[in-house]
Structure 1
Amino acid sequence: MKDALLATVIDEYSTVEAFASVLALEEKALTAIEPLETLPPIVEKKTELIGKLATLEKVRDTQLAELGFPSGWKGMELAAGSDTRIAAQWSLLQKAAERAQRSNTLNGSLIRTRMEYNQRALTALNVAVTTEKVGFYGPDGRIPAYSSL
């Protein structure tokens, strides 16, 4: 039974590492001038990996219960204390999760920065439109041609 738990933790570790790789791609896309083409497949892959991690966590909790341990972090700490192989993989998983969390936090900051920039640009355009009392841009997105009187 401990071998099954070990296999699950190893699978979780490799999934978290894959997730971290996708986060690195996301960071690169978020710092590109035109990220819109590359972001949808990245978001799709992140969603897939998050689903896999949630499933693996449930499997791990079930395996912990079958071994007589509580679920979650506390159960894993107890299981790791009773098996050096599990302890080693659990440590790797925790370190990988911490790295992924840092990357995810960075990407969140990049997204917020991009959103703030876009909001400021929209505000500036709206101010220009209301200050001029004529449309800076027409409904078609072009600057209208005005005839002089």
Structure 2
Amino acid sequence: MSLKQHLAVQQQRLQQLIQLLTEEQAALSQAQVDGEQLANIAADKEKLFTQLESFEVQRQQVQNKLGYSVGMAGAELAALDAHCLPLWHALLESAQRVAQLNQLNGELIKQRIEYNQRMLNFLHEAAGQSLYGPDGQTCKTSGQISSKA
């Protein structure tokens, strides 16, 4: 497989990953999260990340065997010599977009976890106090749940 073909396959997988991350972001932004959908997206993401990692290792090995220096400078020179520098630059831009989306989705997940933890803490506190008095009427408690809001 030529470097151009190799980079084209990597670019295609990065685009698939961008699509998955966009779907994940939309799912995380919903009021009601679909856990099964997120689990499927996570499995698909893991598969693509594994494939991309394998392809990147292969690319680096071939780059080294052909005498190009290790790292970005060598990769860029190899792409230039193979007449596929624009594809290399597009791949780098896609990889950067994947990193940005992945970081943003991580923040959305973190926010969801914090919200859920606050709700659980509130429910634990509320469960520890009676909401109704012996007469069946709601109790007046400061800072707690009141049905007379």
TM-score after normalising by structure 1: 0.80
More helix by share: 1
The SS at the match of 1:110 is: helix
Q: Which among 94, 97, 105 is matched to residue 96 of structure 1?
A: 94
Question: Counterpart of 2:121 in structure 1: which amino acid?
Answer: T
Name the residue aligned to 2:75: 76
Question: Counterpart of 1:67 in structure 2: which amino acid?
Answer: L
Name the residue aligned to 1:113: 111
Question: Structure 1 unaligned runs (5+)?
Answer: 137-144
Q: Which moved more, 1:15-24 or 1:94-103?
A: 94-103
The SS at the match of 1:47 is: helix
**Is residue 19–residue 100 contact of structure 1 (8 Å, CA) maintained in 2?**
yes
**Is residue 8–residue 59 contact of structure 1 (8 Å, CA) maintained in 2?**
no
Q: Which among 1, 9, 12 is matched to residue 11 of structure 1?
A: 9
Name the residue aligned to 1:122: 120
C-alpha separation in 1, matches of 2:62 and 2:87: 15
TM-score after normalising by structure 2: 0.80
Question: Counterpart of 1:126 in structure 2: which amino acid?
Answer: H
Q: Percent identity?
A: 30
1:146 deviation in Å?
8.9
RMSD over aligned Cα, in angstroms?
A: 2.2
